[in-house]
Structure formats: C-alpha cells, structure tokens
Structure 1
C-alpha cells in the first residue's frame, strides 16, 4: 500500500521515519520530495575501461562541491548526486524513487531506484542528462519518493554496504560476488 500524506506524517511524528532536514514542502500528497545536496560526481573522460571487478572507482570519478552557481549536467552524461536529506527507514517501509516531473520535462532521467526497508543515510542517485546541457542547484526539490508499506516488517532489514552513507557514495564492489561461475 502506498502511504498518503496523513500516514507519512504519522510515521514522522512517531519518529519511525526520519527525514533530516524536514521542510514544510517535503511531505506531499502521496510521498515526499527530496532536494539536491551540494555534491555531484561525473565520470572522468578517459579512454580507459571501467573494470567492475576491482575495488573502488575513485580514479574514474571527479567529485565537486557545488554552491550557488549550480552544476551543469552535460548531454547524455551520467552523474551521481546525493540528497540533502538524511533518511532512516523503518522495517516496514520501502521507497520508490522518481524524478519530479519538472526535471523530467527538462529531459533528465533517473533509472529505477528502490530504497530498502531499514536503510539509513543520504540517498545517492544517478542522473542521466538530457540532449541539451541542464543546470541544477543544491536545495532544489528534484526527487519524489513514494513510500510503500510492506505486508509485515521485513525479517532482515537492509544492512548492506551503503548503510549510513553520507554524500555521494560511488559503487562498492564485493569481489567475491564478481566471480564467473
């Protein structure tokens, strides 16, 4: 079941769902709107191959702290960004992340993203650029997060490698899972 604004406010008041900071316009009719943080990362333009079996991608990302001048997402560029808000999900809610329609109308896109029950941290999001450059700014509401209640609290809440992340978190690979069988 998708939560209404009423249900979301109850979860927040009871401190079952944490959204920090929480703005007056965060809670919407059937979800919450989240804002751009001030960190953006883009892939370096190199002719090398990104090897997904090695640890870390620090050598292929360029990260920036952005202030009032904004950040330009180049045509068809894949960019990692983060939400301003830190969230903590209870064991009976999952989040379905959508780009707010205003940004979609500018041609931006995000791949389907699910926030697991029990997740805590800033949300790292991949944005895909339009066919033209698009400038975005920290503090703009850009995500709409739909909250759905599970049929019962999950038996094993999220405790994965992205738990507690702050700011943009690049991919973290588990080398044991990259083996070919």
Structure 2
C-alpha cells in the first residue's frame, strides 16, 4: 500500500518516520519531496578496470567535492545526495523517483529502493541529459514514494550504508566502508 500524505504525517507525528530537516513542502500527496545536498562525485573517465576484489583507490574512479551549483554534463554519471536525513521504520520501504520537472530535462536516475529500516541521507546516481543541466543544492529533486509492507521486515536494513551522510561511494572501497 502506498502511503498518503495523511499516513506520512501520522508516522512523522509518532516518530516512526524521521525526515530532517522537514520543510513545509516535503510531504506530498503520496510521498516525500527530497532536496539536493551539496556533495557530489563525478565518475572519472579512465582506462583502468574496477576490480571489485581489488578496487584500488576511490580517487582513481571518482572525483568528489561540494558546490553551490552542480552541472551534470551530457551523458555524465554522477553520485549526488539528499539534504534530508531520513529514518524509515521496519514496516515501510521507499521507491525513489526523479521529480517530473527534472525528468523532463532528460536527466535520469536508475530504479532505487530504500530498504525498510534504512537511516541516512540517500546517495543517488544521476545520468546526464543530451545537454548540460545545472542543479542547485536545496532544490526539490527527488520524490520518495513510501510503501507499507504487509508485515514488518524480519531483518530491517543494517548494512554498511546505514547512517550515511553525504555521497557514499560503493562499499568496495575500504576508506568508504566506515
């Protein structure tokens, strides 16, 4: 069952769902609008092979920084993060969608699921359009549809990305697995 704005406000009121910061326009008809954070990582163009068993240094494959403006180049792959830190209860999962305004610019994000019990800022892969698009931290960027599970997860999420802040690179890289 997809949660309505009324359901979401109820979960926020009892503390089962946490969204910080929570703005007046965060709760929508059937989900949450999440804002873009300042951090980003660009995928580096390299001839090196990323071997998951011996990945090397993250800086060989990613260039990470923070900015007040982020330009996503044509066809470019980047990792971005949400401004909001969220905590889902064990009986709610999330489906991440790009807000339609941004989808209409040609930007794309792969299908992303937020597991029941997840806590942290979301790291999202973004794929550029046919032309450069400028993004501004603080703008509403993602829509998180919240789905109530038929029963609470027996094993809610407790993985390596739990509690993440900023862009979190793949857990393959030792310096990034906290």
| TM class, shorter-length | over 0.9
1:53-110 CA distances to partner (integer Å, 9 max, x unpaired)?
225634311111112xx11101111100000000001000000000000000000000
What is the CA–CA distance in structure 2 between the aligned matches of 1:137 and 1:28, rounded to whole Å? 21
Shift of 1:173: 2.7
Q: How does 1:69-80 map to 2 (within 5 A)?
A: 70-80=69-79
Q: How does 1:34-49 map to 2 (within 5 A)?
A: 34-49=34-49
After the TM superposition, which segments of 4 or more aligned residues of structure 1 sit over 4 Å from their partners?
Answer: none
Gaps of 5+ in 1: 176-181
RMSD of aligned alpha carbons: 1.4
Contact preservation (8 Å) 2:58, 2:173? no
Gaps of 5+ in 2: none
Q: How does 1:1-181 map to 2 (within 5 A)?
A: 1-55=1-55, 57-67=58-68, 70-173=69-172
Length-normalised TM-score, structure 1: 0.92
1:117-138 CA distances to partner (integer Å, 9 max, x unpaired)?
0001000000000011111010
Partner of 1:155, secondary structure, is coil
Aligned residues: 173
Length-normalised TM-score, structure 2: 0.93
